[in-house]
Amino acid sequence: MNSQPLVLRAFRQPGSLRSLSLEDWDLLLRQARHANLLARLHALLDEHGLLEQVPQQPREHLEWSHAIAERHTQAIRWEVGRIQKAMAEVGVPIILLKGAAYVMANLPLAQGRLFSDIDIMVPKESLNAVEAALMLHGWAATHHDAYDQRYYRAWMHELPPMRHVKRSTVIDVHHAILPETASLHPDPAKLRAAACALDGHDGLRVFAPSDMVLHSAAHLFHDGEMENGLRDLIDIHSLLCHFGGLPMFWPDIVERARELELTRPLFYALRYAALILHTPIPADIEEAASRTGRPNRLMLAFMDSLFTRALLPVHPSCSDGLSSSARWMLYVRANWLRMPPLLLARHLFHKAFISPKAE
Amino acid sequence: MMWRVISAHALHFRSWDDEFVVYNSLSGDTHLLGAAAAHVLSELQRTPAEAVTLAGSLAPVLQTSFDEELVLETERLLAELDRLALIERSRF
Amino acid sequence: MNISALTLPELGFRLKTAGIFLQTGSFVTHLRTSIASVAEGIGLLYADYPLVEQAGFADFHVSLACPRTLRRWFKPQVLFLFDGRPTFKPLPLDQAFPMLEWGLNWCVSSHANRYLIIHAAVVEKGGHAAILPAPPGSGKSTLCAALVCRGWRLLSDELALVRVSDGRIIPLPRPISLKNESIDIIRHYEPDAVFGRKVSDTMKGTVAHMRAPAESIVQAMETARPAWVIFPRYQAGAATRLEALPRSRAFMRVADNAFNYSLLGVRGFETLAGLIDASLCYDFSYSVLDEAIEKFAALKPPAP
């Protein structure tokens, strides 16, 4: 494995970018682009007042990606406004998740982020009313196959994605943050109870700071797709740096992880953020998270070898022979965590042979 | 029923001859509008208004009489602008 | 040093090993391939382009390779790779050079967001540029090729790049892509024009590329001021007609033909408005090339 890929060095020590040669910039941009981090890199340099010092040619590329990120942010704000309007009559607080939450809460990590779907969480009892309200305002159901419908509603934790007929934007409506079939059960009622209001946006909420971090950790360390592993880890790093200054944040997050059954994901999140991105974490907190969430020694060694490879950007300059199999194993592992093995086999079988889609 | 523009600073106008292109920086959409629609939008940008008032100001611009038909046309125009998310109902 | 300084074997060797750094307008592309037809195409059509030695930085890293599947023994194919990742479905190996050209266009049109990028040809004469936006089949490339053979500078046959910061047009002169009957029409129109090999059965029919005039390449770093936006339409038997187009309509039609108008948000709006402000806008129909050229020669720039 290459020692310290440039893109990691960039996020650990932005100041070190001052001394990069043109050749280094060429490689850094390529690594960042592969990891979908180009716009984040622009935001990082901007935040540290370093953009002016970037040589003209690489600077062009950073500005190109910045234009895309700005457009995405504009689109998210608009879309959230439309959702707010659609949900006004339902009378149930809507919790924005992930990217949409970061934007509307004006968090630093929203800068330079690209978005695909919008994710929201509502109480399970309100799912029908929410779905109906969305359809009234132009969102249509996708995945019409009866099996897919059941997969999403009964086994996962969401309605099948809904696509707007005119704008083509997609909204994912969740009622929990992990599927009912998963081995961990963070209680959605607890998450809702702690959710914070957004200034100037009636009816919209976002997760409390520790819950935002824990959700991101659960998403990264349970989901199968590591294509954006580094980007997601950088999100966690950014959230921890931003909220780390709040009084009681650190002891609270350990306690909250215990409450929500997310001690294992928290342990991994802190461990790999510190290891890979050098996130500053108080020693006593690392210890406490380790006590409550650490797996046995053999498992930990195995997970270390999987995650340290899989969280690197997918670029030839960052891989060794083991990397793609590491990623594959995480995919199988994550799916196993989400669905009991029998269901998984049936699901994959069904997907492969019974409902072929014309892509 | 009172109407207003979606936001005071969101709309960017350019015009050539009698037609207008409008960019809505909230929705990201661009629209081609005729003189009547552009006039209504710029009035609403100054202050919220009702269909009747707007029809009254439109009459001299379109060089037509201020009558019931004009008010109906104006209401239809407002509904269209609402559909395009350029304006919205105002509470005041 | 230009590409012409290398012999074909030298060029082929470089392409196969370390690759070459090719400068087209403001963009530097690092290109690698072992495919002979691509090396030949480059040697012929990019002869006058500068080779950047020891570049260190390239805007785009591109390679053309044959997928290593069983298929390669009976129906060889070619893949276009952008920094090692395939961007399109594979094409028959025979189409490797056209694929390079399409791929290079894609590199710019998908990334260069400091420009409003319009699907259009751009030519310039006397300090004034004409932008010819057109959906496929309108004859824009034929007209562009003809103009360029009659003294107009080629800025691009495919991508009009309008710089957001100041509204200037950035050149990107590259081989002009012609298809089907246009190839012979231009060959006949300009017997001295240099053409690459004809490639048949592509998605666009039979395709060939005409070498850009050397002067256009020499001037590749000189930006241009827009003066006309002209929508061409070839129609057999049609009279040559230049018809003034209301500017607001021109605005909307250009926006429709732009790759990144919506992506650029308010800056896209302002850049396009600036372009339309600065230009006289027309619909143009023609059937006889000589008459079309005459009409263009007689174009009056807008009052300053």
Give a yes or no: residue B92 inside a domain: no
Chain A contact present for C18, CB below 8 A: no
Q: Which two tokens stand for residue A175?
A: 């009622």
Query: Cα separation of C37 and C11, whole Å?
Result: 12
Look up the pTM and report it: 0.89
Q: Which residues contact C206 (CB under 8 A, 6 or more apart)?
A: C179, C180, C183, C198, C199, C200
Q: At what angle do helices A229-243 and A209-222 cross, to 10 degrees?
A: 160
CB-based contact, A72 to chain C, within 8 Å: no
Same structural domain, C97 and C222? no
- The rounded mean pLDDT for chain A is 85
Helix (H) or strand (E) holding A182: none
Two structure tokens written together for C109: 């049109």
Strands ordered across the beta sheet of B49-50: B49-50, B2-5, B87-90
The nearest CA of chain B is from the CA of C300 a distance in Å of: 20
- Indicate whether C104 and C224 sit together in one domain: no
The answer to whether residues C189 and C266 belong to one domain is: yes
Structure tokens at C267: 């800056």
- Nearest Cα residue to C96 out of C15, C21, C36, C9: C36
- Main-chain phi, psi angles of C195, to 5 degrees: -120, 145
Residue A1 belongs to a domain: no
Q: Is A294 exposed, middle or buried (0-12, 13-18, 19+ CB in 10 A)?
A: middle
The structural domain count of chain A equals 1
The contacts of residue C274 (CB under 8 Å, 6+ apart) are: C167
Which two structure tokens, joined as six digits, stand for A166?
């005119």
Chain B, window 27-66: residues with a beta carbon less than 8 angstroms from a chain A beta carbon: 27-28
Assess contact for A162 and A139: CB atoms under 8 A: yes
Query: Which residues have a Cβ under 8 Å from the Cβ of A269 and sit 6 or more positions away?
Result: A213, A216, A217, A220, A221, A233, A236
Q: What are the tens digits of pLDDT across the range A220-257?
A: 887 655 668 899 999 999 999 999 999 999 999 999 99
Stronger pLDDT, A219 or C229, i.e. the higher one: C229
| C36 occurs within a structural domain | yes
Q: Which residues span the domain enclosing B79?
A: 2-87
Q: What pLDDT, on the 0 to 100 scale, is given for residue A355? A: 39
Encode pLDDT of A190-213 as tens digits: 999 999 999 888 889 999 999 999
- Spatial distance between the Cα atoms of C125 and C89, rounded to a whole number of angstroms: 39
Domain of residue B60, CATH code: 3.90.930
Higher pLDDT, A152 or C181: C181
CA A130 to CA A91: how far, in whole Å?
10
Indicate the pLDDT class of residue A357, thresholds 50, 70 and 90.
Answer: very low
Which among B21, A109, A147, A202 has a CA at the least distance from the CA of C275? B21
pLDDT tens by residue, A302-332? 888 888 888 876 676 666 555 566 655 555 5
* Residues C188, C271 share a domain: yes
Q: How far apart are CA C148 and CA C142, in angstroms?
A: 10
Per-residue burial over A161-181, b = 16 or more CB atoms within 10 Å of its CB, e = otherwise: bbbbeebebbbbbbbbbbbeb
φ/ψ (deg, to 5) at C279: -120, 155
Of A176, B15, A84, A22, which is closest to residue C248 (Cα–Cα)?
B15
Q: Are residues C38 and C140 in the same domain?
A: no
pLDDT value of residue C149: 97
Asked whether residue B42 is assigned to any structural domain, the reply reads: yes
Asked whether residue C264 falls in the same domain as residue C176, the answer is yes
Contacts C170 to A, Cβ<8 Å? none
* Torsion angles phi and psi, residue C180, rounded to 5: 50, -120
Q: Using the predicted structure, report yes or no on whether residue A353 has a pLDDT greater than 70.
A: no
Which chain B residues are Cβ-neighbours of C280 within 8 angstroms? none
Contacts with C263 from chain A: Cβ below 8 Å: 67-68, 71
Banded model confidence at residue C185, pLDDT cuts 50, 70, 90:
very high
Check whether residue C92 and residue C80 sit in a common domain: yes
Residue C182 and residue C89 share a domain: no
- Which domain range does residue A318 map to? 6-353
SS3 for B21?
strand
State the Cα–Cα distance between residues A160 and A26, nearest whole angstrom.
41
A128 within domain boundaries: yes
CB < 8 Å to B26, chain A: 74, 77-78, 81
Chains with at least 3 CB pairs less than 8 angstroms from chain C: A, B
Q: Look at residues C91, C111, C131 and tell me which one is the last residue of a structural domain.
A: C111
Residue A349 has pLDDT above 60, yes or no: no
C302 within domain boundaries: no
Report the distance separating Cα A236 and Cα A247, nearest Å: 18
Instruction: Enumerate the residues of chain B whose CB falls inside 8 A of the CB of residue A75.
Output: 28
A77 contacts on B by Cβ (under 8 Å): 26
Q: What is the C-alpha separation between C206 and C212, in angstroms, rounded?
A: 19
Is C146 in CB contact (< 8 Å) with chain A? Answer: no
CA dihedral C92, C93, C97, C100 (to 10 degrees): 70
Shortest CA gap B23–chain A (Å): 13
Encoded amino acid at A27, one letter: L
The reply to whether A127 touches chain B by the CB within 8 Å rule is no
Separation between Cα atoms, residue B88 and residue B79, nearest integer Å: 9
Calculate how close chain B gets to A209, using CA atoms only, in Å. Answer: 28
Give C168's strand partners: none
Please give the residue range of the domain that contains residue C154: 115-297
For residue B90, the model assigns a pLDDT of 84
Instruction: Tell me the per-residue pLDDT of B75-86, one tens digit each, with 9 for 90 and over.
Output: 999 999 998 889
Q: How many CB pairs under 8 A join A and B?
A: 10
The answer to whether A74 faces chain B, any CB pair under 8 Å, is yes
Task: Name the token pair of C116.
Answer: 């409003």
Alpha helices in A109-246 (DSSP H): 127-136, 146-150, 188-194, 209-222, 229-243
List the one residue out of C278, C256, C270, C260 whose CA is nearest residue C115.
C260
Q: Is residue C100 part of a domain?
A: yes
Residue A334 has pLDDT above 70, yes or no: no
Chosen domain end from C111, C132, C153: C111
Dihedral sign, Cα of residue C23, residue C27, residue C32, residue C38: negative
Are C56 and A23 in contact (CB < 8 Å)? yes
CB A338 within 8 A of CB A179: yes
Give the number of domains in chain C: 2
What are the structure tokens assigned to B30, written together?
């661009």
Q: Which residues of C touch A34 (CB under 8 A)?
A: 83, 85
Query: What pLDDT, on a 0 to 100 scale, did the predictor assign at position A319?
Result: 62
Asked if residue A199 is part of any domain, the answer here is: yes
pLDDT at residue C251 tops 60: yes
CA quadruple C225, C228, C234, C235: dihedral, nearest 10: 180
Mean pLDDT of A268-283: 95
**Separation of alpha carbons A174 and A121, rounded Å:** 5
- Whether A268 is in a domain gets the answer yes
ipTM value, please give it: 0.93
Chain center to CA of A96: 13
Q: B10-34: buried (b, 16+ CB within 10 Å) or exposed (e) per residue?
A: bbeebebeebbbbbbbbbbebbebe
pLDDT computed for residue C73 by the predictor: 74
Cα four-point dihedral sign C10, C14, C16, C19: negative
Residue of A nearest to C54 (CA): A23
Residues 6+ away with beta carbon under 8 Å from A270:
A240, A279, A281, A285, A286, A289
Rounded Cα distance between C286 and A31, Å, is 49
Q: Single out the residue in C111, C136, C156 at which a domain terminates.
A: C111
Phi-psi region of A37 (alpha: psi -120 to 50; beta: other; left: phi over 0): alpha
Q: What is the mean pLDDT of each run of 10 residues along chain B (92 residues)?
A: 89 92 92 90 92 93 90 92 90 67
Three-state SS for chain C is CEHHHCCHHHHHHHHHCCCEEEEECCEEEEEEECCHHHHHHHHHHCCCCEECCCCCCCCEEEEEECCCCHHHHCCCEEEEEECCEECCCCEEHHHHHHHHHHHHHHHHHHHCCCEEEEEEEEEEECCEEEEEECCCCCCHHHHHHHHHCCCCEEEECCEEEEECCCCCEECCCCCEEEECHHHHHHHHHCCCCCECCCEEEECCEEEEEECCCHHHHHCCCCCEEEEEEEEEEECCCCCCEEEECCHHHHHHHHHHCECCCCCCHHHHHHHHHHHHHHCEEEEEEECCHHHHHHHHHCCCCCCC
Same domain, C89 and C156: no
Cβ distance A71 to B27 less than 8 Å, yes or no, reads no
**Structural domain includes residue A359:** no
Same domain, C256 and C278: yes
